[in-house]
Structure 1
Amino acid sequence: MGNKHETFTFKLGDFKLQSGKILKDAFLIVDVQGELNSAKSNAIVFATCFGGDHNFNQMGIGEGRALDPSKYCIISPNLFCSGQSSSPSNASPSQKGSKFPLVTYYDNINAQDKLLQEYFGITNPLLYIGFSMGAQQAFHWGALHGSRTGGIVPICGTAKTTFQNWIALEGCKLALTADAAFDNGNYTSPPSIGLKAFSMNYTSRLFDQKGYEENLHLGLFGGLADDHAYFQTLNDLFSGIDANNLIGMANTWQHGDIGKHEKFGGSTAKALSNITCPALVMPSSSDISFVAEDNIPEVKKMPDADLKVIDSKYGHFAGSMSPALSSEKEVNFIDDGIKDLLEKIG
């Protein structure tokens, strides 16, 4: 018999954001694999990443894996602006498209906490894990709720978006919005030139120079014929995402900083010191979006954190937990680290 698997909508109603604005008729699309035990002690929150929804997360889940649905209840709440949960593309008419408000990571965390407590009756999740934007969510979750969480695992992400990372994202946004068809977010058909420009800008940072020179990108997705096929694959991915959704996710990413909460008064260091649960921070040695060195000072300020660098040439994708985007070496290294942490906290 297969493991329980369901996807559902959790209605948040009129949801107050950090900005004070109200996100009208807000909702989360939530994917659940595995079954919650009677003690509600086996819940793992698996946050989603930029351009990847709960379907992307499924590549990191499986029997025998660290995230094993026969042992754990794995809950994947989709990011706001992902096109799944409340987003510019599916919002109430008064907030649709370019009128969608800025959503922060803490807004996502607050919605997810509401989901856990009100729908599942969970106050103490066993683990919170995420890759890329999911990793940044893990840091934010740990800062607010570490005292009642078994542990967090941020993979290829930082607690605060670096200025270099911000600039790269701003370049992606400007490339997209420069397309006349974008029309300040009021387009009637996809701004295809802008989406292609966004894709090329973003793709430039998926591998470092050596990774691209060694043609590791051609081994992705089961194997690609040439550079053109690689570019086309990524362009197809980004062209399938609503342009305002891309802008919305990028805005959330750019505003990433766990210190930006009334509890911490803008102090990232204070927020890091409040991540009291065990933490396993796993950057990629070749990631140029979330540079491994940037995690070192963050981990030093966390009371119970380990830094385990993924030794890899696969750049940002090294943290994807999928052999289709890296190799078995990276997948096994990450899985082993998570299993060790689960043994420690379980």
Structure 2
Amino acid sequence: MDIFELGDLPLASGATLPGARLAYQTFGELNAAKDNVVVFPTFLGAPAEVLNGWIGENRALDPRTHFIVLPGHFGNPPSSAPSNTAGDFPEVSIADDVVAQQRLLEEVFGVREVRLALGWSIGAIQVYEWALRFPGLVRAIAPIAGAPTPPPWTKLWLRTVVEEPIAARGRDGLAQVAHGSALTAPPRTFYYPANETWRSLGFDSVDAFVAGFWEGFWLPQDPADVAVQARKSRTAWPGAEGEAVGDMLGRIKARTSIAAFTGDALFPPDELREYAEAIPGATFRQIDSVFGHLATFGLAEPDVKAIDDVIRHALES
């Protein structure tokens, strides 16, 4: 994992993040024209390396042909976060993340064009910010299972499932975050006795799945870091103040490929289809999955193939 030192970074809130640091990984080689760049930001609670499995020879993200950058985001160590920053951590935003990511590309690699920006969930929110903040830089975007700003249900989810348990109980609240995630990220059919989809992940009971998967994901994290990530995601807004969502989406110039998963309560297909209809020339794909929002973890081969197909289409369009 590499670190880009940004110095004292002015933030959208008007505050300053002292000694700002952005973690990142790269795969492949930057070509002479510097036009083979793929930016792939990560999601809530996940360091950049969790995305490494999506990169490989003969995959959609092939390092032999693309220079793939996996940037971190603020609040998510080893990028600047409450757990590794002295003093009170300032209010950060998705906009701040993307500004830092663009500086990384330009100042470290001399890149002024992004072939594709893609990501899912909170990563997709960053992708929309890329398209609207730097319209002249980004040629194509692929927001998967995500939106420019969380829908009302998802904002409520971020507050009640993530932020409030941490505010009330600190580290002990992370167990409640894990249990709330287990209840809401997969669809209800995931737990049906006729399906018991959790067994496909190697667990012999629902309790074992909740403990092994969800507690294993959330409990090692710092609660203050998680709260910062949830808060900036919940308040994300890449448009102008007072601008309607449709008008904001209508300004996107990048070729856009949107995908959604059936059973995803956080970013339902019907809502994402409406976003696609508002973006000039955008395409939309609904992916049938038994995992719902959990499909973004790439736990089943059909989901992996479908996501690879979306990425490949976005790169070829």
Equivalent in 202, 207, 218 of residue 228 of structure 1 = 207
Answer yes or no: is 1:340 the counterpart of 2:317.
Answer: no
2:64 equivalent among 61, 70, 90 = 70
In the other structure, the counterpart of 2:289 is: 312
Report the Cα offset of residue 265 of structure 1. Answer: 4.9
Partner of 1:196: 175
Scaled by the length of structure 2, what TM-score is found?
0.94
1:69 to 1:27, Cα distance in 2 relative to 1, 3 A: same
Ranges of 4+ aligned residues in structure 1 off by more than 4 Å: none
Unaligned stretches of 5+ residues in structure 2: none
Aligned to 2:164: 174
CA distance in 1, matches of 2:265, 2:16: 35
What is the identity percentage for the equivalent residue pairs of Structure 1 and Structure 2? 29
Provide the C-alpha distance between the structure 2 equivalents of 1:10 and 1:51, rounded to a whole number of angstroms: 20
1:287 to 264, 288, 292: 264
Equivalence for 1:258: 238
8 Å CA contact 2:3, 2:22 repeated in 1: yes
Contact 1:257 1:268 in 2 (8 A): no
Q: CA deviation at 1:266?
A: 3.9
Q: TM-score, normalised by structure 1?
A: 0.87
Q: Name 1:330's counterpart in structure 2.
A: 303
Instruction: Tell me how far apart the structure 2 counterparts of residues 165 and 337 of structure 1 sit (CA, whole Å).
Output: 23
Please tell me whether the aligned partners of residues 144 and 274 of structure 1 are also in contact (alpha carbons under 8 angstroms): no
The corresponding residue for 2:27 is 33
Deviations 1:176-195 (A, max 9, x none): 2222xx3xxxxxxxx2x311
The DSSP-based 3-state class of the residue aligned with 2:22 is: strand
- Look up the equivalent residue of 1:176 and give its one-letter code: I
Query: Which residue does 2:228 correspond to in 1?
Result: 248
Cα distance in 1 for partners of 2:272, 2:135 equals: 18
1:304 counterpart letter in structure 2: G
Match of 1:188 in 2: none
Distance of 1:71 and 1:159 partners within structure 2: 29
- Contact 1:131-1:155 within 8 A present in 2 as well: yes
Structure 1, gaps ≥5 residues long: 1-6, 183-190
Identify the residue that residue 50 of structure 2 maps to in structure 1.
Answer: 56
The one-letter code matched in structure 2 to 1:252 is K
**1:47 alignment counterpart:** 41
**AA matched with 2:147:** T
Equivalent position SS for 1:337: helix
Would the aligned equivalents of 1:83 and 1:241 in 2 still touch at CA under 8 Å?
Answer: no
Q: In the alignment, which of 239, 249, 256 is matched to residue 272 of structure 1?
A: 249
Secondary structure, aligned partner of 2:119: strand
1:55-101 superposed Cα distances (whole Å, 9 cap, x missing partner):
1111211111101112111101101111221111111x22xxxx212
Q: 2-side partners of 1:269 and 1:34: how far apart?
A: 37
Conserved 8 A contact 1:151-1:279: yes
Task: Provide the C-alpha distance between the structure 2 equivalents of 1:319 and 1:104, rounded to a whole number of angstroms.
Answer: 23
Q: CA deviation at 1:340?
A: 2.2
Query: 1:281: Cα distance to partner?
Result: 0.5
Residue 151 of structure 2 corresponds to: 162
User: CA offset at residue 311 of structure 1?
Assistant: 1.2
Count the aligned residue pairs: 313
1:309 aligned counterpart, secondary structure: strand
Q: Which residue of 1 aligns with 2:6?
A: 12
Residue in 2 that maps onto 1:122:
111
